[in-house]
Amino acid sequence: MNYTPHTELDIQHMLTTIGAANVEQLFDEIPANLRDFTLADMPVGISEMHASLKSQTYAEQDQSLLNFIGAGAYEHFIPAAVWDLTSRGEFMTAYTPYQAEASQGTLQVIFEYQTMMSRLTGLAVSNASMYDGATALAEAVLMAVRALKNKKNRRILVPKNIHPHYIQVVKNLTHAQKIAIISVDYLTETGQVDATQLQQLAADETTALVIAQPNFFGGLEAVDQLTDWAHDQGSLVIGVTNPTSLALLKAPGSWGQNGADIVVGEGQPLGVPLSGGGPYFGFMCCQSSLIRQLPGRIVGQTTDSQGNRGFTLTLQTREQHIRRSKATSNICTNQGLAVTAATIYMSILGPLGLTRVAEHSINNTRLLINALSLEGIKPHFNNAYFHECLVDLPLATEDFINGMLEHGIDPGFAVTDLPNTLLICVTETKTQAMLDQYTQAAGQVITKFKSQNNNGGAQ
């Protein structure tokens, strides 16, 4: 996109129009002691060619590693067409449809996205996305409280086997609303939600139960049992899911007798690359009975006065529309570009492609975990898992990670609360040769560790 700076004549004309003597006068409300006119650290301008070479030098300092980290951000293959199309100017430079009906292309993409997410989750309604998976969960908690405003106690049951970042964001965004986040333990044998503790917590009124499927450790929950239990208590069920898993696992809309009420998650696995923490997007779906409480944008399909199909924003109750404190949410935009990529990604892969991605990821994970068992690395929990597995290591986690990095492998995510463990994730991007490389490197790291310990003991 071209950028043409203002000329001195342009600047003088604008200053004259607004009645300012100079640019500095526009910032006269800033105290003098806080202003810095020197720009001492501003480098001297260089040519485009030299800037490109300098950037390339910096880029070459990054070591290329085989990545086996998941923990909420997943490396999947993204067809070239996804971002070739997403990067077109019509999508890349469009921000948000404030004049909605004039943005039919953008609205149609969002409508298609909503349709796909509704079918994937098995729920009737999807919004146009949230900032990320963590904020989507926080908004789901607020949504549940609004939907059950007759509840005396604002208590949300949140298992400890949910992503710790999600839990932290939920607490940050809800504590001022006097919402109590009640932690629920997980079983040490399986990593699943402790149903016995749930029964104990049932003595007090609760608004909602959060269920992660898969949970943070990659394990699978007894979602039917948990969903029916929550509904029997008069509570809502908030599901947190990995969208890739929904190609194989039961849709949240089919959990238990009546399905989950609200489902959220991180949409990054659907065509958004790993890139320094973002941008990602959160998806959010719900039962039709809760649509009035759903935050964010919703795009609907309609017809104009001549009977032609069109798209429009609907059920808008956001802060931006002058509702202020009565707004459903203060989130007043959506992650349009990432949603566009996800829509194209799902369109290209289709149901069969998404299923194959999930199947290959599961198979690769099991191949690696089985191979690592020969090196003394075993699953920490006795439970079924998707494409992540928490394993026990025969040495300190930090030592194992540092040893694997020397072999050019980032082996997994360190779970700080569980020493000598590692959360390993494998997706369809890993070949058998890569899995063998991991296994061989792990064996060498463990052998070296044992040798050093034996030598140290002999001395």
| Stretch 79-96: mean pLDDT | 85
Q: Where does the pLDDT of residue 452 fall: very low under 50, low under 70, confident under 90, or very high at 90 and above?
A: confident
Which of 316-320, 361-365, 454-458 shows the highest mean pLDDT? 361-365
Question: DSSP characters for 291-346?
Answer: GGG--S--EEEEE-TTS-EEEEE-S---GGGTTGGGSS-S-----HHHHHHHHHHH
CATH 3.90.1150.10 residue ranges of the chain are 66-74+351-449
**Over 60: is that where the pLDDT of 371 sits?**
yes
**Over 50: is that where the pLDDT of 1 sits?**
no
Question: Which tens digit of pLDDT belongs to each residue from 50-66?
Answer: 989 989 998 888 878 99
Considering only residues 267 and 41, tell me which one the structure prediction assigns the higher pLDDT: 267
Question: Which tens digit of pLDDT belongs to each residue from 243-282?
Answer: 999 999 999 999 999 999 999 999 999 999 998 777 899 9
- What mean pLDDT value characterizes the chain? 91
CATH 3.40.640.10 residue ranges of the chain are 81-345
pTM of the model: 0.86
**Under CATH, to which class is 66-74+351-449 assigned?**
alpha beta
**Over 60: is that where the pLDDT of 112 sits?**
yes
Question: Which tens digit of pLDDT belongs to each residue from 381-417?
Answer: 999 999 999 999 999 999 999 999 999 999 999 999 9
Structure confidence at residue 458 (pLDDT): 44
**Over 90: is that where the pLDDT of 224 sits?**
yes
CATH topology of domain 81-345: Aspartate Aminotransferase; domain 2 (3.40.640)
Look at the alpha carbons of 180, 242, 186, 438 in this order and tell me if their dihedral is positive or negative. Answer: negative
Q: Where does the pLDDT of residue 198 fall: very low under 50, low under 70, confident under 90, or very high at 90 and above?
A: very high
| Stretch 356-370: mean pLDDT | 98
Q: How many Å is the Cα radius of gyration of the chain?
A: 26
Structure confidence at residue 327 (pLDDT): 75
What is the arrangement of strands in the sheet containing 236-241, beginning at the earlier edge strand?
125-126, 282-286, 262-266, 236-241, 208-213, 155-159, 180-184
Question: Which tens digit of pLDDT belongs to each residue from 160-176?
Answer: 999 999 999 999 999 88
Helix, strand, coil share (%) of the chain residues, nearest 5? 45, 15, 40
Structure confidence at residue 203 (pLDDT): 72
